[in-house]
Chain A
Amino acid sequence: MRLKYNLWFGVYEDGKVERSSNLEESFLKAENEESLPFNIPDVGFEVFGGEEEYYTALRKTALAIAEKLVERELRREDKYVIALVKALEEVEESINMLNEKLEDIRVVKDSEIAEEFENKIEGLKNLRKKIEREIEEMMTKIAPNLTEIAGAKVAAKLLERAGSMERLVRFPASKIQVIGAEKSLYKAFARMKKGKKAKIPKHGIIFLHPFIRTLPKSKRGKMARFLAAKIAIAAKIDYFRGELDESLYESLRRRYEELRRK
């Protein structure tokens, strides 16, 4: 018979308690196959130095964990990344707009106002860098395979278009390939309907990926199809399994080398 039990405040073995140094961690590991042969507070009151102290600690730990779990569940991290991607686009647009206005002013006069514009633009560029770094960090956390395959920027943009990881993993590779090129895709469909010749887009957002961008035009379609297929797999692994699969990136790199040499 096993005499080891996982309690929310530590491990109980042979009548002794090894107190956990991290209550939130041990709280989530307080699993036992069978009903405990003793009552937890009988052990706990001694560990915490009294009934009141015991329940105060229990309530505090349970509440902290509940708050975290609710937070994760309701305002999931993918929603945060999506908000960041949208913010990044706005910040980029602002930088461009301010740059234009700065040039307009400079052409006429090098005034103090122009200098102030420069400072503002500099500040926004710093913000852009911070947002990019945060996106990269978050994407690596929520979708390590997808991020490795597609790069944080492309991965985050795909996620933003899909609306959530849950929806992204339901997209077929053929859809992932053309996300972001909807306009030309539907234009092509419309032309095909009329029996005209049409150019179906080879890539949308994933064009930003270096493995596509750096290939000659004639090979980009093949690479895009391959990349989209791997992205679809990577997203599913991230969502359902959550472990890093090294072989994905390797196969992608091999395909890229192959196409480049041809």
Chain B
Amino acid sequence: MKLEKLMRNVYFADRVLVTKSRYGSHYGEKIIDGFREWIPWRSKLAAMILKGHRVDFRGDERVLYLGAASGTTVSHLADIVDEGIIYAVEYSAKPFEKLLELVRERNNIIPLLFDASKPWKYSGIVEKVDFIYQDIAQKNQIEILESNAEFFLKEGGEVLIMVKARSIDSTAEPEEVFNEVLEVLSSRFEVLRHGTLEPYHKDHIFVHAKIF
């Protein structure tokens, strides 16, 4: 097997994106000798990496993950920050049940069944974090990001968000929506990089930014 390192615990194994992991399959992905296949069509973070953008993780970060869903991406992020802590927030019970399977097998995920638009409800639980990852297809997702950043993001902390044009405005051109999002973000954050997730996720962009 030919390994090419991309990021902490993230590799190309014979040209397949994988994370180094001592755990089993969570969502049907293949396991190859201590590596878990990371499917870009299932995970926007995987798509972003395949589009060439890297995020430098040390591995001991404290991460606030908004919109954890059933834990597909969380499982790989937990492989990456294997010495850190992920606070995984999700409001819907059905996918959360699946996420709990992941929480039981790992010790670096704290499950929080809360509404991410009400960060004060978990303000006495979540610590100051280095990183906020957000994948919430909601109209007010930027507002949600900002209020969470205000509560929990450390000085100089970073955010990585996945934006779906249609959830913010279903009538406007995606390009317009993305420009607007970037503009709103730039008042509080320094945008490090952004780009599309085509062909893996249509009309989506990622934005990697750092708080002022």
Q: Which residues of A does B touch, CB under 8 Å?
A: 5-8, 27, 29-36, 39-41, 55-56, 58-59, 62-63, 65-67, 69-70, 73-74
Q: How far is the CA of A226 from the CA of B2 in the complex (A)?
A: 78
**Cβ contact within 8 Å between A41 and B107:** no
In the bound complex, residues from chain A placing their C-beta under 8 Å from that of B123 are 30-32, 34-36
In the bound complex, residues from chain B placing their C-beta under 8 Å from that of A29 are 124
In the bound complex, residues from chain B placing their C-beta under 8 Å from that of A6 are 124
CB-CB under 8 A for A32 and B111, given A63-B104, A73-B93? no
In the bound complex, residues from chain A placing their C-beta under 8 Å from that of B113 are 65-66, 69-70
30 sampled A-B residue pairs with Cβ under 8 A = A8-B124, A27-B125, A29-B124, A30-B122, A30-B124, A31-B120, A31-B123, A31-B124, A32-B120, A32-B124, A34-B120, A34-B123, A35-B150, A35-B151, A36-B124, A39-B128, A40-B127, A41-B127, A55-B107, A58-B125, A59-B103, A62-B125, A65-B113, A69-B93, A69-B113, A70-B93, A70-B96, A73-B93, A74-B94, A74-B97
In the bound complex, residues from chain B placing their C-beta under 8 Å from that of A56 are 107
In the bound complex, residues from chain A placing their C-beta under 8 Å from that of B112 are 62, 66
Q: How far is the CA of A60 from the CA of B203 in the complex (A)?
A: 39
Q: Which residues of B does A touch, CB under 8 Å?
A: 85, 93-94, 96-97, 100, 103-104, 107, 109-113, 120-128, 150-152
Q: How far is the CA of A58 from the CA of B103 in the complex (A)?
A: 12
Between A34, A66, A73, the greatest number of chain B beta carbons within 10 A of the residue's beta carbon is seen for A66
Task: Across the interface, name the chain A residue whose C-beta is closest to B111.
Answer: A66
**Cβ contact within 8 Å between A62 and B110:** yes
CB-CB under 8 A for A59 and B110, given A8-B125, A27-B125, A70-B93? yes
- Which of B93, B121, B128 is the one whose CB lies under 8 Å from A31? B121
Q: How far is the CA of A39 from the CA of B125 in the complex (A)?
A: 10
| Leading 9 A-B pairs by shortest Cβ distance | A30-B124, A73-B93, A32-B123, A66-B111, A7-B124, A8-B125, A6-B124, A35-B151, A40-B127
Task: Across the interface, name the chain B residue whose C-beta is closest to A28.
Answer: B121
**Cβ contact within 8 Å between B100 and A63:** yes
Q: How far is the CA of A59 from the CA of B123 in the complex (A)?
A: 16
A35-B123, A63-B103, A67-B100 given; 18 more Cβ-contact pairs under 8 Å: A6-B124, A30-B122, A30-B124, A31-B121, A31-B123, A31-B124, A34-B120, A34-B123, A35-B152, A36-B124, A40-B125, A40-B126, A62-B103, A62-B110, A62-B112, A63-B100, A66-B96, A69-B93
Task: Across the interface, name the chain B residue whose C-beta is closest to A65.
Answer: B113
In the bound complex, residues from chain A placing their C-beta under 8 Å from that of B111 are 62-63, 66
Q: How far is the CA of A210 from the CA of B127 in the complex (A)?
A: 57
In the bound complex, residues from chain A placing their C-beta under 8 Å from that of B110 are 55, 58-59, 62
Q: How far is the CA of A6 from the CA of B103 in the complex (A)?
A: 25
Task: Across the interface, name the chain B residue whose C-beta is closest to A39.
Answer: B128
Q: How far is the CA of A36 from the CA of B120 in the complex (A)?
A: 10
In the bound complex, residues from chain B placing their C-beta under 8 Å from that of A27 are 125
Q: How far is the CA of A256 from the CA of B85 in the complex (A)?
A: 62
Q: Separation in Å of the A125 CB from the closest CB of chain B?
A: 38
- Which of B85, B96, B124, B150 is the one whose CB lies under 8 Å from A55? B85
Q: How far is the CA of A7 from the CA of B93 in the complex (A)?
A: 24
Q: How far is the CA of A29 from the CA of B151 in the complex (A)?
A: 17
Task: Across the interface, name the chain A residue whose C-beta is closest to B96.
Answer: A70
**Cβ contact within 8 Å between A66 and B100:** yes
Q: Separation in Å of the A220 CB from the closest CB of chain B?
A: 43
Q: How far is the CA of A58 from the CA of B110 in the complex (A)?
A: 7
**Cβ contact within 8 Å between B93 and A74:** yes
Q: How far is the CA of A135 from the CA of B170 in the complex (A)?
A: 47
In the bound complex, residues from chain B placing their C-beta under 8 Å from that of A66 are 96, 100, 103, 111-113
Task: Across the interface, name the chain A residue whose C-beta is closest to B152.
Answer: A35
Q: How far is the CA of A129 from the CA of B111 in the complex (A)?
A: 40
Q: How far is the CA of A160 from the CA of B109 in the complex (A)?
A: 39
Q: How far is the CA of A63 from the CA of B113 in the complex (A)?
A: 10
**Cβ contact within 8 Å between B97 and A70:** yes
Q: Separation in Å of the A101 CB from the closest CB of chain B?
A: 45
Q: Separation in Å of the B96 CB from the closest CB of chain A?
A: 6
In the bound complex, residues from chain A placing their C-beta under 8 Å from that of B120 are 31-34
Q: How far is the CA of A31 from the CA of B150 in the complex (A)?
A: 15
Q: How far is the CA of A29 from the CA of B124 in the complex (A)?
A: 8
